[in-house]
Amino acid sequence: MKVLLIDDHPLILSALQSVIQSLGDHVSVSTADSGRAARETLRKDLSHDLVLLDLQLGDADGFDLLAELRTRYPALPVVVVSASDRTSDVIRAIDMGAMGFVPKRASNDTLLDALQQVISGGVYVPPMSMGADFQPTLNHSPALRQVQQEAQASDFQSVPRLRDLGLTSRQAEVLHLLLKGQPNKLIARELGLSVETIKDHVAAVLRSLGVSSRTQAVIAVSQMLQRQAASVGSALHDGVHGSPLSGQRR
């Protein structure tokens, strides 16, 4: 696997290179300290499998370069690694086609987990509070509205589990393709349905997630999967260390 790191800070480049190379001997890392250097590297070598992009470059705006990369190399996954962790920047990056967004304050393990998720075809976004305009809910019962209000007041977002959304098998298929960034026409073609039918399924999926756009859907699902993984990890840890048998000899 060949990875290109784009960052204008030498120390950051060196640190990222060390982390990426820890993935194994099969990983080759190239670096670029400017937008110009990145363009030249990709022009000469089209075999890169992944790009890590900083948003603050001396000679280029990171978002502009992201848009350029998505246009010129649509099959090349780009993960933003930024000093910013603002929700607006995360949403904008994902909306522009980034497959992940990792704040630079994240741990090495978090970065590696994010890259593994992207390499596997997923999308990674950091845990964050989306504010009052983004509150996934299962339905609109008075009890859940009260919980939602209390969560919002405490600046904490409660995200439902995917299996609790009540999606039909067809809606789940549409969601899967939606997360891959496919437009309605391609989803319709792949599933053998009309575009209007796909629009109805997409609308139903967005309603189930409690969101109003595809970008918000990607972020919502990513957060659900992250929290589910964390819950499983916690349960496994408790099962090993909290089991009555853990202290007994065999």
pLDDT tens-digit profile of 16-46?
A: 999 998 888 889 999 999 999 999 999 999 9
Dihedral-angle region of residue 51 (phi above 0 means left; psi in -120 to 50 means alpha; beta otherwise): beta
Q: Which residues of 38-70 are buried (b: 16+ CB within 10 A; e: fewer)?
A: bbebbeeeeebebbbbbbebeebebbebbeebe
Which tokens go with 74?
Answer: 């649509």
pLDDT, position 130:
43
Which is more confidently placed, 237 or 134? Answer: 237
Lowest mean pLDDT among 19-33, 188-202, 213-227: 213-227
pLDDT, position 245:
34
pLDDT, position 136:
39
Instruction: Compute φ and ψ for 144, nearest 5 degrees.
Output: -70, -35
pLDDT, position 164:
66
What's the CA gap between 81 and 55, in Å, rounded?
7
Per CATH, which fold does 2-119 belong to? Rossmann fold (3.40.50)
Pick from 67, 69, 66: nearest CA to 82: 66
Average pLDDT over residues 88-117: 88
The residue type at 199: K
Mean predicted lDDT score pLDDT of the chain: 78
Judged against a pLDDT cut of 80, whether residue 121 lies above it is answered with no
CATH architecture of 142-242: Orthogonal Bundle (1.10)
